[in-house]
Amino acid sequence: MKNSANQNIKPLTTRVNERGNLEISGCDLTELAEKFSTPLYVVDENTLRTICREYKEAFAPYPNTRLLFASKSLCTMATSRILAQEGFGFDVVSDGEMFTVHKAGVDMKTVLFNGSNKGIDELNLALELGVGRISVDNFLELSLLNELAQKSGKTADILLRITPGIECHTHEYIQTGHLDSKFGFDLTQIDSAIELIQDEYKKLNLKGLHAHIGSQIFETKVYKDEVDILFAQMVRINEKFGLNLDELNLGGGLGVKYTNVDHPPSTFEIADIIINALEENIKKYGIKPVIYLEPGRSIVCTAGVTLYTIGSSKQVPHGTKYIAIDGGMADNPRPSMYQAEYFAQIANKPEKPADETVTVAGRYCESGDILIKNITLPTPEEGDILCVYNTGAYNYSMSSNYNRVTKPAMVLINEGCADIIVERETLEDLTRNDKLPQRLGEK
C-alpha cells in the first residue's frame, strides 16, 4: 500500500543544508528563529498541499466524496485559503472558526457547522452566512435551529450527529464515537428526533447522518464498522420514515507519526478500507450516498514545527538534566493534557552526535510543564534552537496566555520564502480588553 505524509515525523522538505543547519522548504530554521524570534510556529506549504492532494488521490475512486478540513486542528485565514484552493470544504465548530474561513474567502456552501452546544448567535451567523450543512447534536438544538430558521425565513439543511457505539483505543479525552459520549444522539434517540423533524420542525431539511469515532486513530477496522453502522441506519430510516437520505459524514481521526514508536496507517490504506466498505453496502442496499470526511490532524500536523530557544539548564544530582526553553505548555498544552510525546532536533547542530539525555522543560510556573521527557540530543547549549516536529495540529489552536505570556507568531514557508500569517502578540495585545473601573482611582 502506498505511503502518505502522515506516516512521516518531519515535513517532506526537511533537510540539512550546506551550513549544517536544519532547513525546511528552503528556509534555514536558525535564520527563521533569528528573524522572527521564538517560540515560532512554522508551516510548510509544500507538505500541506501534498497531503491535501494525497487525500484527493486516495478517495478519487469514490467520486461522491466531499473532503472537509476539521478547522479545530488549525484555523487561520492563510491555511484556510490554501485548503480551499486545494478543493477542501470546512468543518467548523464555533463562530470564530466560521468567521475565519469566511474572511479567507471560502465558499460557505462547502462549510459544515458542528458542535455539541451551539449558541444562538452562532446558529444565526451560520444561517446568515449560508453554511452548507449544520450537524445537529441534540434535541434542544433541533428546536432552537428550527425557530431561528423560521425567524430568518430560511430552511436549514442538516445532518443528525449520532454516536455509533464504536470505541477506539485512543486517549479517553479524544474518543467521541463510543456510547458514553457527550456528542450526538444515541442510537435509541434517532427515531424520536426524526419524528420531531417530520411533524414539527418544518424549517429543517434532513440530508443524512454524521458520526465521528475519535482522534489519533491507528486502527483500521473501526472505519469499516462505522460505514456499516451508518449505512444500515440510513437505510432503516429511509424505509421507516419514507425519506431519501443520501449523505453520510464519517468524521476524521486518522493518526499521525509523532515519534518512531507510532505506526499510523496511510491515507491510501484508510481510503481503500472505507471505499471497499461503501461498495459492499452499495451492493447490499442499492444506495450510493455522498460521503463526507473530516480530516484535521492528518492534514496539518506533519506540515508544522515549532522553534524554541534553549536557555538555562539544571542537573539534578544523580538524576535528570533539565533544559529550559522559551515556550512550553501555553503554546503546546498537549503533553500536559494528553501525555503526548514529540520528537525534536537541535536545528543548528542536527548532525552532531546525540550524546546527552535531557528532559525539555517549559518556561511556565507549573511542575507539569514538561514538553519532552528523556530525549537524547547533541549537548544542548544556551542559544541553541530546538525544532519540535509534528506541531501543526492543535498547538496553536489550543494555545493560551497562561502566566500572561504573549502567543507566538506563525510563518508560512515555501521555496525559500517566509511570510507571517499570524502576528506575534504584544504586551499591548494582552491588556487590550482589560478595563479599570473609575472607582479604583488613578494609578
Backbone phi and psi for residue 352, each to the nearest 5 degrees, phi listed first? -75, 155
**Exposed/middle/buried for residue 252 (C-beta within 10 Å: 0-12, 13-18, 19+):** buried
Q: What own/partner pairs with CB < 8 Å and gap ≥ 24 does 97-102 have? A: 97/71, 97/72, 98/122, 98/125, 98/126, 98/129, 98/131, 99/125, 100/71, 100/75, 100/76, 101/71, 101/75, 102/129
| Contacts within 8 Å (CB) and 24+ apart, 91-94 | 91/252, 91/294, 91/296, 92/131, 94/122
Q: Which of 168, 365, 387, 417 is catalytic?
A: 365
Query: What CA–CA distance (Å, rounded) separates 296 from 314?
Result: 37
CB within 8 A of 284, min separation 6: which ones?
none
Long-range contacts of 437-440 (CB under 8 A, 24+ apart): none
d(CA 319, CA 272): 48
Q: Are 190 and 233 in contact (CB under 8 A)?
A: yes
365 has catalytic annotation? yes
CA–CA separation, 370 vs 430, rounded Å?
24
Beta bridge partners of 161: 210
Q: At what angle do helices 120-129 and 139-152 cross, to 10 degrees?
A: 50
If you compute the radius of gyration of the chain from its CA atoms, what whole number of angstroms results?
Answer: 23
**Pairing label, strands 409-414, 417-422:** antiparallel
Show which residues are catalytic. Answer: 365
